[in-house]
Amino acid sequence: MAKRCDVCGKGPQYGHNVSHSKVRTKRRFMPNLHQAKVTINGRRQTAMVCTRCLRTAAK
């Protein structure tokens, strides 16, 4: 399963874990995805949607 929002296309971002001694190790910031029923192109279907898109759709 791809960690990508089906509405806006938001995906994982990359950065560093930084320890107290400033040693940097790679990490991923994953989007907060939820399975929801969304109307896409006039059809209602289940999709993996980020919480930002859920809030926008609720308005």
Q: Are 46 and 37 in contact (CB under 8 A)?
A: yes
Q: Among 28, 44, 38, 29, which Cα is nearest to 8's?
A: 38
pLDDT score of 1 more than 70? no
The pTM of the full predicted model, rounded to 2 decimals, is 0.76
**Higher model confidence: residue 2 or residue 45?**
45
3-class state of residue 47 by DSSP: strand
| Short-list 15, 6, 1, CA closest to 46 | 6
Q: What is the pLDDT of residues 4-59, one digit of tens each?
A: 999 899 999 999 999 999 999 999 999 999 999 988 788 899 999 999 999 988 77
**pLDDT at position 15, please?**
98
